[in-house]
Structure 1
Amino acid sequence: MTAGRPRVDLFLLAGQFPGADHAATLRHAVDYAIAAEAAGLDGVWLAEHHFISYGVCPSAVALAGYLLGRTTRLRVGTAAAILSNRHPVALAEEAALLDAVSGGRFDLGVARGGPWVDLEVFGTGLDRFASGFPESLDLLLDALSGRETVAADGPRFRFRPVPVVPRPVRAMPVWVAATSPSTVDLAARRGLPLLLGMHQDDAAKADTLRRYAEAAAPGAVGHASAHLVHVAGTAAQAYAELRATLPGWLARTREYVRVDGSPPAHRDLDAYVEHLLAIHPIGPPERCVQRLAGTLAATGVRHVLLVVEGAGPDRVLEVIERIGADVLPRLE
């Protein structure tokens, strides 16, 4: 990353499209990350999902480890590891390991997750999701603080002091994916940067960051903003390509199963696609640059995560190459 432009990363969901099985979808994600490094992007963030094909990566940490080994410069992060499904100390150990072996190129982002059947399968339970996120997050931060030992005496985690091995050489930063005001406030009070999702427009993201600032601990924090991006010769071409593919991919979110058996709410997919097309950098390179610059100005964010899989695997490598050649230089 040069001093004159924001940090620009990919955000890979490893989404399954027609014609690709799970293994092929994951291989595509690896190819996209390697292409991102070649194109001059700064990093790659990996989503994590369980039991649905909207995203077929069940462990963002495991895939991050593989990509760190396949790249030399790229930063690799999780956006996000689902903390309600994991023991915080186990996740901290894995994060510290990847940080150590990669020379500090690993970024850990976590999320509360949803009230899905994952909680039943992994045995953590609905209570961890509903009210246990603050305790889990604080224990994770304690284990990544750089101190020699970690212990817990809370309602859900209780254990004697144990050595932290491997021990981080510094307090490792943790990012928080925030989709609710309570999570924004939680991250703000701890001074943790936010991962802002692609469903919000610039005004909503600016409102979120104002709320964060009102509750924040002292100190400057650099947040990241996710954006759907698709580069094509014209805006009309880009819109047509995404309208042909996005509804089918987004429909896979309907595979979520709530742990209490109630039906999940479903978006009007066509309306949601039009919302995404209206607010994100989609079209020729100059239009993408203009939209990204607008986000930077409206929010003050200097770090963007670009979702490039929307048009399906036949187009992604070309889009990544065009971001590197035609978008990055104009953001400086």
Structure 2
Amino acid sequence: MQFGMFTEFHIRQGGTESEAFDQSFELVDMAEQLGLDAVWLAEHHFSPERSVLASPIVIASAIAARTQRLRIGLAVQVLPLTNPLRVAEEAATVDHISKGRFDFGIGRSGLTRYYQGYNIPYDESRSRFAESLEIITKAWTQDCFSHCGDYFSFDNVTVVPRPYQQPYPPMYVAVSSPETFEAMGRLGHSVFLNSNTPVPTLQERLALYHRAWKEAGHSGIPEIGLRIPAYVAETADRARSEPEASTMHAIQYGAQTLSSAAAIPEAAARMMQLASVSYDEVLKRRVMYGTPEAVVERCQALHEALGVTCMVLELNYGGQLPVDRVVHSIRLLTEKVMPVLR
């Protein structure tokens, strides 16, 4: 099982944008030093109260240049918001800079605000995503290609550079609807799950994904990533109390801000419902907080229930935890959790 740190380059309450970059890069450096497998980068736009991570490929390039071992993944690049040829060029460039340590995570995002800001109708997001993915795949696998679609047309173009990893970096696709699970199974791409969705629902949709995978003739076992808030402490009391304020900050932000911009009514309803539950309920259903032993058990249970192979851990859920606490949590994770699950 791979363990990575999901980061949003949070802006702390009362902090500056410059501090957000400095503190986030400090955590990336510690992730490399302490032995995490990967760092995963979010993408956020028009969110001055939340994040400075508007350009994940640029940040991925910076991380690739300052690290030697850590894998760098996008979780996720919002594919319909930009020109797919540009994405293909820049992602392949990061793949070279990192010498093949790059993972290409992509999705549509469930936030309509991003699309409104870029003046792109959200109801085009699914078709734009599919066309962009088709173009990027062609760009990385064909010496020269042409394309005539609903949104883009190219005539005899050759993308340079081609990816360092052949035929291209591992692709992870954020999935939510049953239709997307099936589509990605047919295409043979790995997927990202979100712990906001109940496990029984994920199991039902993963069954569709695995069936489509097999029917399409793909071999092997797909990689399944799960994004989930996590915190490790020496005692159960500390694991409960230390991240509480930051966790509730994240939940209230989601309920007040994100739910109003959510494209999927189901997602908005989940956020509003989550905001009304107690912290004890959050601990049971939404996050993975505990002692090293408790976190090992939870990881094993998620692997058995969902086939999770890649843990994408929000180690500072809400972005308000002090850096030293996050570093200590990472240290316990790498020293006492990861070795048991290898």
Residue 153 in structure 1 maps to residue 148 in structure 2: yes
| Counterpart for residue 252 of structure 2 | 251
CA distance in structure 2 between the partners assigned to 1:127 and 1:150 by the alignment: 28
| Contact 1:85 1:119 survives alignment (8 Å) | yes
CA distance in structure 2 between the partners assigned to 1:272 and 1:307 by the alignment: 20
Q: Structure 1 vs Structure 2: percent identity of aligned residues?
A: 29
The runs of 5 or more residues in structure 1 that have no matched partner are 1-5
* DSSP-derived class of the 2:195 partner: coil
Match of 2:327 among 312, 317, 320: 317
| Counterpart for residue 161 of structure 2 | 166
* DSSP-derived class of the 1:144 partner: helix
| Contact 1:48 1:57 survives alignment (8 Å) | yes
| Contact 2:110 2:262 survives alignment (8 Å) | no
| Contact 2:7 2:40 survives alignment (8 Å) | yes
CA distance in structure 1 between the partners assigned to 2:108 and 2:251 by the alignment: 21
| Contact 1:174 1:192 survives alignment (8 Å) | yes
Aligned residues: 324
| Counterpart for residue 286 of structure 1 | 293
The change in CA–CA distance for 1:274 and 1:61 in structure 2 (over 3 A counts) is: farther
How big is each residue's C-alpha offset from its partner over 1:7-44, in whole Å with a ceiling of 9 and x where there is no partner? Answer: 11111122333232222122222111111111111111
Residue 215 in structure 1 maps to residue 224 in structure 2: no
CA distance in structure 2 between the partners assigned to 1:50 and 1:195 by the alignment: 21
CA distance in structure 2 between the partners assigned to 1:196 and 1:282 by the alignment: 18
Residue 39 in structure 1 maps to residue 15 in structure 2: no
CA distance in structure 2 between the partners assigned to 1:270 and 1:72 by the alignment: 44
CA distance in structure 2 between the partners assigned to 1:193 and 1:300 by the alignment: 12
* DSSP-derived class of the 1:18 partner: coil
Superposed counterparts of 1:121-200, under 5 Å: 121-145=117-141, 147-168=142-163, 170-172=166-168, 173-200=170-197
* DSSP-derived class of the 1:56 partner: coil
The change in CA–CA distance for 1:219 and 1:234 in structure 2 (over 3 A counts) is: same
The change in CA–CA distance for 1:36 and 1:154 in structure 2 (over 3 A counts) is: same
* DSSP-derived class of the 2:272 partner: coil
Q: Aligned-pair distance for 1:151?
A: 2.2
Q: Aligned-pair distance for 1:86?
A: 1.2
Higher helix residue share? 2
Task: Give the counterpart letter for 1:290 in structure 2.
Answer: E
CA distance in structure 1 between the partners assigned to 2:70 and 2:282 by the alignment: 28
Normalised by the length of structure 2, the TM-score is 0.87
Q: Aligned-pair distance for 1:165?
A: 0.9
| Contact 2:139 2:158 survives alignment (8 Å) | no
CA distance in structure 1 between the partners assigned to 2:336 and 2:36 by the alignment: 12
4+ long deviations beyond 6 Å: none
CA distance in structure 1 between the partners assigned to 2:156 and 2:20 by the alignment: 42
Match of 1:84 among 80, 93, 96: 80
* DSSP-derived class of the 2:112 partner: coil
The runs of 5 or more residues in structure 2 that have no matched partner are none
* DSSP-derived class of the 1:159 partner: strand
Residue 329 in structure 1 maps to residue 339 in structure 2: yes
| Contact 1:39 1:320 survives alignment (8 Å) | yes
Q: Aligned-pair distance for 1:128?
A: 3.0
| Counterpart for residue 3 of structure 1 | none
Match of 2:70 among 74, 82, 85: 74
| Contact 1:28 1:313 survives alignment (8 Å) | no
| Contact 1:88 1:136 survives alignment (8 Å) | yes
Superposed counterparts of 1:1-16, under 5 Å: 6-16=1-11
CA distance in structure 1 between the partners assigned to 2:262 and 2:211 by the alignment: 34
The change in CA–CA distance for 1:19 and 1:318 in structure 2 (over 3 A counts) is: farther
CA distance in structure 1 between the partners assigned to 2:108 and 2:297 by the alignment: 33
Normalised by the length of structure 1, the TM-score is 0.89
How big is each residue's C-alpha offset from its partner over 1:216-252, in whole Å with a ceiling of 9 and x where there is no partner? Answer: 2322221211221111232233222333221223333
* DSSP-derived class of the 1:199 partner: coil
CA distance in structure 2 between the partners assigned to 1:13 and 1:273 by the alignment: 22
